[in-house]
Amino acid sequence: MSEDIRIHSWPCSYYQESSKQWIPGNLSLTPLSIQFRAGETGELLLHSRLSGISQIKKECSHFIFSSITVLERSTKHWFSSLHPNRNVVFNILEHFWREQLLPGQGSGKGRELTGMLEGSQKRLEDTAKVLHSQGEQFDRIMTGLHKIEGDMDVADRLLTELESPSWWPFSTKLWKTPPESKPRETPPTPNPKSREGILLRIPVIVTHGTDSNAKPGKLAVLPSGLEIRDGNSQLLQRFGSRDVDDIRVHTPYEISVRQRFLGKADNSFRLLAARMPEVIPILEVQFSQKIQFLEDALGFAGARRCPQVDSGMSVGQA
């Protein structure tokens, strides 16, 4: 992906150490770096690669309020007066910075984090196998209990008949009424959607409706639709394929999903992610009639389709 793509930009102030003053301007995020340009002159005062950043923090002091600091080697860069607010900018910067660390083969931090994730995934897979085995054992136990309960009902009926006097001319039910049998509880039918496979799950920054607060979350692409969860894995929204009215691709890293309603506000989510380029091709297949590429994303769509067009032309010419 081109370094020239600007994912996001925020008005803010940057503390320039050389002049000991705050300079108003714009902080920009690209797929590989963050940049700051002065507002009046447009001069590039900062260009830091995400792979070279060791820490991003929210900090405050007696003189600097609601600031974000970016530590690059031994240099700390200060940003303040962030719009729309500090939390939104921090969540987006931290998301892309962390995602940049994961695939870096030359980065020691990247290898370490990747190793930790692979180890966690292996442990989760082992745990899932054990739980699946225990679930099968539990099902067999429940089947055995139901069989024992049925045998006990038969035994109780036979004992009741044996206790009736042989000279009693009427039905044994008049001599001794057996205790009322309790209705057997039917085990709940498992929800098929709970076992539905996940095509792809990625971390995202979620903005719901007109709310300006962008918060960390997760997007799961399912065969039947989309599932959006917050940072604590609590379900925010599940869109079935029929629920989605349109998907807009704003940039290769940002999409919006909307469900229209009559007589009330639309239900819409804006999703920003470093791994969104992996999701968009899947969405094109699932929602081919509902997806729309906006101006800043047309280059991304065209770049993927050009090889197919070229190959088709060569076949036609041949």
% of the chain residues with pLDDT over 70: 69
* pLDDT score at 169: 56
> Is residue 123's pLDDT more than 70?
no
Q: How distant, in Å, are the alpha carbons of 136, 149, 198 from that of 193? A: 20, 32, 10
Residues 6+ apart with CB under 8 A from 153: 181
% of the chain residues with pLDDT over 90: 52
* pLDDT score at 66: 85
> Is residue 270's pLDDT more than 90?
yes
Residues 6+ apart with CB under 8 A from 79: 12, 13, 14, 15, 27, 36, 67, 68, 69, 70, 89
> Is residue 193's pLDDT more than 60?
no
For the residues 128-141, what does the mean pLDDT come to? 74
CATH 2.30.29.30 correct for 8-101: yes
Q: Is the dihedral of CA 306, 308, 309, 311 positive or negative?
A: positive
> Is residue 171's pLDDT more than 60?
no
pTM of structure: 0.67
* pLDDT score at 134: 72
For the residues 133-148, what does the mean pLDDT come to? 79
Taking the C-alpha atoms of residue 7 and residue 250, their distance in angstroms, rounded to an integer, is 10
41 or 159, which is more confident? 41
Confidence tier at 309 by pLDDT (50, 70, 90): very low
* pLDDT score at 63: 66
The pair phi, psi for residue 186, each rounded to 5°, is: -85, 125
* pLDDT score at 300: 67
Confidence tier at 312 by pLDDT (50, 70, 90): very low
Confidence tier at 147 by pLDDT (50, 70, 90): confident
Q: How distant, in Å, are the alpha carbons of 145, 192, 194, 197, 228 from that of 188? A: 16, 12, 13, 21, 26
314 or 18, which is more confident? 18
Taking the C-alpha atoms of residue 144 and residue 140, their distance in angstroms, rounded to an integer, is 6
* pLDDT score at 313: 42
Q: Which residue has the tokens 């205790």?
A: 179
* Mean residue pLDDT across the chain: 80
* pLDDT score at 30: 93
The answer to whether domain 8-101 and domain 197-309 are alike in fold is: yes
Taking the C-alpha atoms of residue 240 and residue 219, their distance in angstroms, rounded to an integer, is 14
For the chain, the structural domain boundaries read 8-101, 109-185, 197-309
Q: Kindly state the DSSP code that residue 185 receives in the 8-state scheme.
A: P
Contact present, 218 and 226 (Cβ < 8 Å): no
Taking the C-alpha atoms of residue 96 and residue 272, their distance in angstroms, rounded to an integer, is 10
CATH 2.30.29.30 correct for 197-309: yes
> Is residue 230's pLDDT more than 70?
yes
